[in-house]
Chain A
Amino acid sequence: MADRKAETEGVAFSLLNVQNFAQFRRRERPGKLNGRDAMKLKHVLLGTALTLAAALPALPASAEDGIYIPLLTYRTGPFAVSGIPIGSGMADYLTMLNERDGGIGGAKLIVEECETGYDTKKGVECYEQVKSKNPIVINPYSTGITLQIIPKAAVDKIPILSMAYGLSASADGQNFPWIFNPPATYWDGASMFIKYIGQKEGGLDKLKGKKVGLVYLDAPFGKEPIPLLEALAKDYGFELKLYPVTASEAQNQSSLWLNVRRDRPDWIYMQGFGAMNPTAVKEAIKINYPMDHFVGVWWAGGDDDARPAGPGAKGYLALSFNLTGTNFPVIQDVIKYVVDKGKSQIPKDKVGETFYNRGLLNSIIIAEAIRNAQKITGKKVINGEDLRRGMETLTITAARLKELGAEGFAAPMAVSCQDHNGHNAAFMAQWDGTKWVKASDWIEPLKDKVNPLIDAASKEYVGANAGWPKRTEPCDKSS
């Protein structure tokens, strides 16, 4: 009888061959197994053994005697081109501190990477995996992952550092006490772009009647600058043209650039990521667009975004908040203590590229926040709650950068209780054919235009999430 059941369950369906009579006939003799089935059973047992072996529970590394810093990285998957240098930069600086100074303030740093592949699913899995080990901070490194874990931060008491990505509204420290996104938001970035082109045109009032194009990834990340640019277009009288690129069409943008050629915008700003960037640069060259009028956001300013386009990419601009090159004592130390000793995951010639140095800056911010937290609390081994206080009173002055061996490496930055972003300055980097060079002074964002948007977005987020926890954490005095 059980067999008739098996028939009804109808495992014998195959995609192409609707009926498989042989299968049905074979099942007519219950209990009898032919040689093939017996073989199969052996395979199954083998497979099961493998699965069972794999399902053994994992033993998490203990983090009692040091400060546990998990790094969510994406060295695999479609965005690995930027993920490898960023992840290596983050890991290498922290490893260097361990090797050179024995950690921070006498506490060893336990650095562990968790691979997300830029996939939200795996990112959340990583978060759950590291959560139990008392992490002091999470760097999600993906907008999707950041959005997922923002509500969890306050509950799990783990601060999130999303360095110039994630949710712009989380710059509001009053509503997001656990989230930090220094040094600048995407709105700051877009306002710096407008400020820069204003300078080039001879004043913001000269933008009247100009056409400004926005090439953007058609996803939450890409659409972010639109409200700000629309507001600025109204204020300064320029015309905003939108060119969306869907994620699936990232490598096939020719039709979009035909539109660009037709419209001939005076300036183009690109809010792009991943394979979309080099494709856009190539297409811009193809339509003979003047490259020094084409500006990318900081995530569109990697070496591998410009390099594949060849010599034509010379002149392409991108915002950046960290300098490139190895000409800083701190990077020389990283090379000496980490890269030369084979402890890095990246070849030496990649050290000093934009994204590597950006990952390094990310770790400098973490390390400075740890130092600050140690100073405030007087503890050697701090936890997430202490780091939150350390982040909230973080100021990295130019003098401090010099002490760190990173003079001029980044703009001085300050985070406060109310302002978890700081809206710090960035500069225009320009591709000279082989590397990125600094092509402008530090540009301050138009804070008076950005702040109202942050406030509104933050209120909207809290309003949409009924029961959003009120801030209970007291503010520390800035050190």
Chain B
Amino acid sequence: MLYREAGQYKTNYAADVSVFPMREDRIGVIVVLFVAFVVLPLTANDFMLQAVLSPFLVFALAAIALNILTGYTGLISLGTGAFMGVGAYACYKLTTLFPQVNIIVWVIASGFFSAAVGVLFGLPSLRIKGFYLAVATLAAQFFLSWCFIRVPWLYNNNTSGAIEVPTRTLFGVPVTGATATSLTRYFVVLTIVVVMTWLASNLVHGRIGRMWMAVRDMDLAAELIGIRLLPTKLLAFAISSFYCGVAGALMVFLWYGGAEAAVFDVNQSFFVLFMVIVGGLGSLTGSFFGAALIFILPIALRVLAPALGLPLHPATVEQLQYVIVGALIIFFLIAEPNGLARLWQIGKQKLRVWPFPY
């Protein structure tokens, strides 16, 4: 009733193939952005901004990165954590070598280093596929993790072996380091994530995205219609790693404020992979859903128990939370193997004919 396309006429092709063809969808996006940029900053406390929302956005960006590679191009990668690490360490090296350059520039630039490393490890993707490629990217994961521990140059020979984020400002306001407020950090993360999501959306809906999907659906057929496989796959690796790198830099500089090599281990890769699988392979919205389910839900469960006054010990809650989140993941995957994004779509379809389904 409220959500239907009746009466919305399209008079040109551009309107017809737009990302959000329905007016209600466009309004929805504006509402979401309004909430993210205005309502949440006004209402949320430090804990929400710093421990829930900013990390959620960082993980959503990482999930988009992996989705570009796995969901859109069909190349399974277990190296997400390592590529995020490349971004973080690159950003650290850059900002300590050239402290006068704005940190935002370095956060974005660190993506290029990650992209270069990603392309290098993506080279075998032309020859090996499926699980074998997953193993090749796993090698990248282990090799890069090894580098983060064993190459002291990467962390400027710190005795602690960790990278520490110095204070950097943007227009005189500190955005990184301990003095930066949660609100500033949130705005920076949000802006970068929104812009990069918009770019990703344009990419996957355009020629490049269609090439990726053609390769994903059947690479032989894609080759026959004139898509060159190696450049296409490498481009997917490059762009995916670029996004990973930026996500990693954001993670360390605007969320953690410092990191050990252990942050970028294989568990991080699996964490993001779960988000992508639960959220929906090949969907940008799904990346956000996946990040929300995998990252925010456990936190919600943890703060819910004491808020309800349940006399549970935090350790018990922690164990219970694993059980509940695990069960929910299984439940969602049984309910819809194609992830939350598909559920979202079904919901929208249902709404379009509500209340008179034919």
Contact = CB atoms under 8 A, between A and B. Distances in A.
Given A13-B216, A151-B257, A223-B161, A345 B313 contact: yes
A11 B346 contact: no
Given A1-B21, A2-B22, A43-B331, A113 B346 contact: no
Contacts of B45: 132
Nearest to A54: B300
A10 B257 contact: no
Contacts of B261: 219
Size category, B interface: 35 or more
B318 A117 contact: yes
Interface string B114-148: 00000000000000001000000000000000000
A120 interface: yes
B346 A1 contact: no
B161 A32 contact: no
A9 B314 contact: no
B307 A56 contact: yes
A454 to B, nearest CB: 10
B304 interface: yes
Contact of B166 (A32, A73, A120, A464): A464
B335 A464 contact: no
Contacts of B42: none
A227 B178 contact: no
B297 A58 contact: no
The B interface is mostly helix, strand or loop, or mixed, namely helix
Given A31-B353, A167-B160, A129 B303 contact: yes
Contacts of B161: 219-220, 223
Contacts of B286: 11
B159 A227 contact: yes
Interface in B281-314: 281-284, 286, 293, 296-297, 299-304, 306-307, 313-314
Given A10-B216, A43-B331, A128-B50, A113 B297 contact: no
A15 B76 contact: yes
Interface in B250-281: 255-263, 265, 277, 280-281
B317 A115 contact: yes
A219 B260 contact: yes
A5 interface: yes
Interface string A1-29: 11001101111111110110001000000
Nearest to A9: B283
Interface in A99-142: 113-115, 117, 120-121, 124-125, 128-129, 131-132
A120 B263 contact: yes
A345 B352 CA distance: 54
A138 to B, nearest CB: 14
Given A120-B260, A148-B256, A152-B178, A10 B72 contact: yes
A466 B166 contact: yes
B349 interface: yes
B260 A33 contact: no
A39 to B, nearest CB: 8
B21 A31 contact: no
Contacts of A121: 55, 263
Given A56-B304, A155-B179, A13 B74 contact: yes
Contacts of A73: 314-315
Contacts of B303: 57-58, 129
Contact of A41 (B277, B314, B347): B347
A38 interface: yes
B66 interface: no
A13 B165 CA distance: 39
Contacts of B179: 155, 467
Contacts of B345: 6, 11
B343 A40 contact: yes
Given A11-B280, A76-B319, A40 B166 contact: no
A224 interface: yes
Contact of A31 (B262, B315, B358): B358
Given A147-B162, A220-B260, A467-B167, A11 B339 contact: yes
A310 interface: no
Interface string A422-466: 000000000000000000000000000000000001001100111
A230 B156 CA distance: 20
Nearest to A223: B161
Contacts of A33: 346, 349-350, 353, 357
Contacts of A55: 296, 300
Contacts of A388: none
A218 interface: yes
A154 interface: yes
A445 to B, nearest CB: 17
Interface in B214-237: 216-218
A169 interface: yes
A32 B277 CA distance: 26
A30 interface: yes
A416 interface: no
B315 A460 contact: no
Contact of A460 (B21, B159, B335): B159
B133 to A, nearest CB: 12
B152 to A, nearest CB: 10
A218 B48 CA distance: 35
Looking at B130, B161, B165, which has the most chain A CB atoms within 10 Å of its CB? B161
Contact of B281 (A11, A40, A44, A168): A11
B197 interface: no
A219 B76 CA distance: 29
B260 A144 contact: yes
B338 A12 contact: yes
Interface of B: 5, 10, 16-17, 19, 21-22, 45-48, 50-51, 55, 71-72, 74, 76, 96, 99, 130, 149, 156, 158-162, 164-167, 177-179, 204-205, 209-210, 213, 216-218, 255-263, 265, 277, 280-284, 286, 293, 296-297, 299-304, 306-307, 313-315, 317-319, 328, 331-332, 335-339, 341-343, 345-347, 349-350, 352-353, 357-358
12 contacts: A12-B338, A30-B352, A44-B336, A56-B307, A58-B303, A76-B318, A87-B315, A144-B162, A144-B263, A151-B164, A345-B313, A460-B158
Closest 4 CB pairs of A and B: A220-B161, A75-B315, A58-B303, A151-B178
